Amino acid sequence: MKNITVYLNNYILSLETERNLSNKTIKAYYYDINSLIAWIDKNGYDNIDNIEINTYIKWLQDVRGLKDSSIKRHYVAIKAFFKYLVFKKIIAHSPIENLNISFKTYRSLPKTLSLLEIEKLLTSTLNDLNSLKSEFRKNICIRNRAIIEMLYCLGLRIGELVNIRLEDIDLKEQTILIHGKGRKERILFISSTEVLNILKEWLDIRYVFNPLNTFVFVNKYGDQLSIFSIEDIFYKYRDLSGIDKRATPHFLRHTFATQLLSNGADLRAVQEILGHSSITTTQIYIEVSTERKKQVLLKFNARNNIKI
């Protein structure tokens, strides 16, 4: 156990160099494994086996009060770490090898906005633009409009939006290269001419902020816009439009996906557009795709034709 921190650092280095994982995922692995190491150190264990692992899992549940989904994430990270130690012949066997732990997985339905709420949100950005007098504020609003429109029109994660660069956009083909989770890339088509024009309007005046890089969306100092800034922009127009106060930028992605499925889009195509690695992640949107269910029930429910 005395060298476990060294082994952890070597493992994290291997994740960075040998596996195609995002920085966010690598940081999560480090945090979860380091949490176990800190617990081991605090309790004075010289060795760790499945009894200690079981005790640690119970500690995460009872003392830290983590949800099953969070505990499962810790478990997966720890299991992968010990597997690495076995592979490197640092330990003979993994203490997590013969554990039989099951996790309950509760999947909450995606939160979405109604079509009326979307219309109110998009309209609020235009109303804001029309109300402004200062050229500087107008330029900021033009940028903000492009941000809201892109999030909804393409169903982007805010992390994906802030990382779009000028070289990722092909205005002639109306396509954008998106750098998704796990460093996976996908090309999306801007299907709305109106959204394309709003984006072009921003690109035409972007230079006035003296950009320091090629990121499409920059702040007033010319640097890359942060995800926190995107959230603040969304919250501003959420409140101006009077839509659901609980809404976050991710509601736009959920709404986008749900509407695609409601309008008859193929599940596999929606998976590719959203950049989901597994189709099971996409399937949850079917649960809130009420329009399709409505049409099926109106057309095929035998009770509709029974007249008493």
Q: What is the pLDDT of residues 169-200, one digit of tens each?
A: 999 999 999 998 877 899 999 999 999 999 99
Kindly tell me if the per-residue pLDDT of 214 is higher than 70: yes
pLDDT at 106: 60
Q: Where are the CATH 1.10.150.130 domain residues in the chain?
A: 4-87
Given 120, 157, 206, 238, the catalytic residue = 157
List the structure tokens of 119: 């219309």
Given 73, 138, 179, 181, the catalytic residue = 181
- 179 noted as active-site residue: no
- 250 noted as active-site residue: yes
Mean pLDDT of 244-248: 94
- 276 noted as active-site residue: yes
Given 120, 145, 206, 276, the catalytic residue = 276
- 181 noted as active-site residue: yes
The whole-model pTM stands at 0.69
From 75-84, 88-97, 196-205, the region with the lowest mean pLDDT: 88-97
- 74 noted as active-site residue: no
Kindly tell me if the per-residue pLDDT of 279 is higher than 80: yes
pLDDT at 224: 95
Question: Of residues 48 and 161, which shows the higher confidence score?
Answer: 161
DSSP 218: B
Q: Where are the CATH 1.10.443.10 domain residues in the chain?
A: 115-295
Alpha-carbon distance of 293 to 176, in angstroms, equals 32
Can you identify the CATH homologous superfamily of domain 115-295? Answer: Intergrase catalytic core (1.10.443.10)
Instruction: Identify whether the C-beta of residue 288 lies closer than 8 Å to the C-beta of residue 112.
Output: yes
Share the mean pLDDT of the chain.
90
Instruction: Identify whether the C-beta of residue 237 lies closer than 8 Å to the C-beta of residue 148.
Output: yes
Question: Of residues 122 and 88, which shows the higher confidence score?
Answer: 122
Q: Which CATH class is domain 4-87?
A: mainly alpha
Given 67, 73, 165, 250, the catalytic residue = 250
User: How many CB atoms neighbour CB 143 within 10 A?
Assistant: 22
